[in-house]
Amino acid sequence: MDRIEIIMPKISANMEEGIVVGWRKKRGEIVKKGETIVDIVTGKINYELESPEDGHIAEIMAKDGQIVPVGQVIGYLDKEDKVEITENISNISAEKQSPGLREYRATPLAKKIARENNVDLSKIVLPEGKTVIGEEEVRSYIQQQNEHSRNDLLTKVENFSKSGEDYTQVQIAGIRKAIADNMSKSAFSAPHVTLTTDVLIDNLLALREHLQDQLNDSKITLNDMLIPFVVKALSEFPDINGIIDNDTIKRFNKVNLGVAVSIEEGLIVPVIKNAQTMSLSEVSVETKRLIEKARKGQLTEDEISGGTFTITNLGMYGIDGFTPIINPPQIAILGIGQVVEKPVVKDGNICIGNTMVLSLSFDHRAIDGAQAAKFLNMLKNYIQNPYAPVIRVV
């Protein structure tokens, strides 16, 4: 029987380990070549590992939720559709079974499963007439223990509820863990400073409405409108458009703009590559494409890497202003708040205007406050006077 190793793949150049999110197939199940057999997460990428051949799952070595180094075996595939699982009981050791003094034997596979799950074989009671502990008995015991643990937890939760300390415990894992690690790295390694400013966007909204009439086939969002101005301001301040690599600051001529997207598991940042070359309509199409892939969990490693600057918008959640956390190793991030109608002064008169808050967080190791303030003021001027810079619409 030909046995094939199923290994943790190296999905990206800097990947060192991945998380086994869940097996789509159980041990013994038949699979076809190209069929997804296990879901893997690395960084913020969901990856569907496909079967390399027709056959059946012979062994599952890595449990759901387990972190596995690249190249390590997570399972085995047998290249036969007919499942014949046999257990070699040669060299079986005898130990005392509890309760009682009966002798028991265990197959190598049963021992292996017990070892991986920290099961004491002496606690497994065999049914009448059976003398060898097999896989079935071990798995049944594990299931019973899990059920006991679950019942214990429910009892504890019920007791907490009675004492006014009700809570639900959730393991930080998968994409949520990757986000947590990334944010912790940013918060503790980069000295954050945040500047905020109010921006009057009446002219921008009028321009958007005018352009929308020209692009009936594609809805232009407010984010789409802001991106060309962010890109233009970054071209004027290349010190902000870059990353910190250990003790080196890398400034880029191109703008790879990250756009934060909220998904069920948390937050992910797909990247619009070479945004400085794109027209408004191209930006709109590419943004929608990346957001759709993000929410389906289909982004590739290339589509979330290489960013030089990030924007994050919480306006749709009714947030005015906030302190965004830098997306490492980038130097800065721009937060965008909701559109608010409020009194403003125009030509010496008080009137109602549409405003929003822009929040720029930056790494003080790379730039100082004066540079950041100049960048933010230039961006504000572009947005309030959107006809000044030339925008390529299509």
Same domain, 182 and 152: no
Same domain, 130 and 193: no
Same domain, 199 and 348: yes
d(CA 275, CA 257): 6
pLDDT reported for residue 249: 93
Domain boundary among 102, 133, 162: 162
Contact of 314 with 335, CB cutoff 8 Å: yes
Strand ranges across the sheet with 67-69: 45-50, 36-42, 17-23, 67-69
Q: Residue 270 pLDDT > 50, yes or no?
A: yes
Per-residue pLDDT, averaged over 97-115, amounts to 66
Same domain, 239 and 362: yes
CA angle 248, 253, 259 (to 5 degrees): 90
Contact of 211 with 280, CB cutoff 8 Å: yes
User: Does residue 221 sit within a domain?
Assistant: yes
Same domain, 9 and 154: no
Per-residue pLDDT, averaged over 295-305, amounts to 85
CA angle 141, 144, 146 (to 5 degrees): 110
Q: Residue 159 pLDDT > 70, yes or no?
A: no
- Helices 369-384/202-214 angle, 10° precision: 50
Same domain, 11 and 102: no
Per-residue pLDDT, averaged over 75-88, amounts to 62
User: Does residue 392 sit within a domain?
Assistant: no
User: Does residue 290 sit within a domain?
Assistant: yes
Nearest to 82 by CA among 36, 30, 34, 32: 30
Same domain, 153 and 187: no
pLDDT reported for residue 154: 55
Same domain, 326 and 209: yes
* Whether 364 is catalytic: yes
pLDDT reported for residue 171: 63
- Helices 108-116/135-162 angle, 10° precision: 20
d(CA 127, CA 137): 9
Same domain, 112 and 191: no
pTM above the 0.75 mark? no
Domain boundary among 78, 106, 128: 78
What residues does 193 pair with on adjacent strands?
A: 362
Q: Mean pLDDT in the chain?
A: 82
Q: For residue range 315-335, list pLDDT tens digits in order.
A: 999 999 999 999 888 999 999
User: Does residue 87 sit within a domain?
Assistant: no
User: Does residue 297 sit within a domain?
Assistant: yes
Q: Residue 51 pLDDT > 60, yes or no?
A: yes
User: Structural domain tally of the chain?
Assistant: 3
Same domain, 25 and 143: no
Q: Distances in Å between the alpha carbon of 141 and those of 29, 123, 362?
A: 22, 9, 54
pLDDT reported for residue 308: 96
pLDDT reported for residue 113: 84
Same domain, 351 and 262: yes
Domain boundary among 31, 52, 78: 78
User: Does residue 378 sit within a domain?
Assistant: yes
Long-range contacts at 93-96 (CB < 8 A, ≥ 24 apart): 95/121, 95/122, 96/122
Range of the domain at 122: 94-162
Domain of 317: which CATH number? 3.30.559.10
User: Does residue 307 sit within a domain?
Assistant: yes
User: Does residue 218 sit within a domain?
Assistant: yes
